[in-house]
Homo-oligomer: A and B are copies of this chain.
Amino acid sequence: MKNINSSVDRNIINRKSLLAFSSKPVEKVKLEIIFEAARWAPSSFNAQPWRYIYAGKDDKGYQLLLSLLFDSNKEWAKTAPMLILSITEMIDIKKNRINRFAFHDLGLSTANLILQATSLGLFAHPMGGFNESLAIEIFQIPNGFKAGAIIALGYPGNPSILSEDLLKRQTAPRVRKNLEEIAFKGGWKGKRSEPGS
């Protein structure tokens, strides 16, 4: 596996859901490059359902974004110099029905964002743990859109700022299912995930 791993794109391998951020702000030009990457993702019928609300630590909106997070995320995400809320348009306007790819295509765009951040020496950590209906309400996002994730963005900080538990989490080895559990030749060979797996 090591052999294959070494052939994988460095941004994919170096990407990590970091917990300790430096206070160094994200440069405006880097942020623009990151959103430019997100912008060029493919999407079903080129609908581009993705939207992003972002705020640096001193910007209007940052404390709101932070307040939406579950405590378990707030604990570490408060060190992030930039928070980004991802949003997706649920309606297929051409067909006047739900776009079943709204979340899928938001994921395609967000992966671009994350990998571009990695490529620029930054880390982007997407979180699902936040109050998504409150996010829609608090930012007065119109009907037809849903909140995706809140993404913490910044440069790596000194891990010593982390609690013992968080430090353990940040330094734990990344684990994944085996390749044979996710990619099947010619037909279905999968199984359901088991609790705790």
Contacts and interface: CB of A to CB of B under 8 A. Distances in A.
Interface string A10-28: 0111010100000000000
Interface of A: 1, 4-5, 7-9, 11-13, 15, 17, 29, 32-33, 35-42, 44-55, 59-61, 87, 89, 91, 93-94, 100-112, 114-116, 119, 125-126, 128, 132, 139-142, 144-145, 148-149, 174-177, 179, 182-188, 190-197
A8 B126 CA distance: 20
- Shortest Cβ-Cβ A-B pairs, 5 listed: A107-B107, A111-B111, A44-B128, A61-B186, A103-B103
Given A60-B187, A115-B9, A188-B140, A177 B104 contact: no
A187 B8 contact: no
Given A45-B128, A103-B107, 4 more contacts: A1-B36, A39-B177, A39-B182, A51-B182
Contacts of A93: 192-195, 197
B55 A179 contact: no
A186 B110 contact: no
Nearest to A52: B183
A68 B142 CA distance: 35
Contacts of A139: 187-188
A66 to B, nearest CB: 13
A20 B17 CA distance: 37
A174 B40 contact: yes
A33 to B, nearest CB: 5
B182 A54 contact: no
Contacts of A41: 111
A194 to B, nearest CB: 7
